[in-house]
Structure 1
């Protein structure tokens, strides 16, 4: 039985649309899509985007066994709020008159935001 990456690869071949056009539309590189072809399971959003580009509905391509055990088919789930998310203190600061200090302050806020986002991704999707 072919896995999801192989099914995706065959659908792309059958569509006649070039890999270059697909990766450009997805905003990924060719090596990335070739790695996806080797994966047993694929993210639903990724497969849906490829399907939209090539005009293919993948929902009928995966067996019931694959659909039940793999993340391709979304199932209703109960979302419970996590109490362990790092809370950020909101402190109003006076703007710095020096532009380089303002830039450094923005950079540190941006880094903190990225770290919080990465923490959230780890909680939602787990480590890869």
Structure 2
């Protein structure tokens, strides 16, 4: 099961919406908001409220959320630009892939350095230098 609090925090940060401003609009302190991000089973009502404030449709990330909220009789989720939400999701996956790629390059460079594989080491360093120029 995915950690709802971490997912919500990541999306808020990607949106560029201020944590302080969000906490104020929610009527809670920043510390309380950060504590909510630690909750793996954060409630859908709260998630819906955050989505309405930052203009993000969390049903993309939690498809089961819409059905559960409708069963509880809560206010329907506002419709947001799904294309933007999908773009944010794809961007998150891309960044994660880049982070793994960078870690792998570092591991290869370390391995080449430790085993005196000078040719491999030179190729890796040249590649990293070339990528940094882009």
What's the TM-score, normalizing by structure 2? Answer: 0.47
Instruction: Choose between structure 1 and 2: higher helix proportion.
Output: 2
1 or 2 for the larger relative contact order (CA 8 Å, sep ≥6)?
Answer: 1
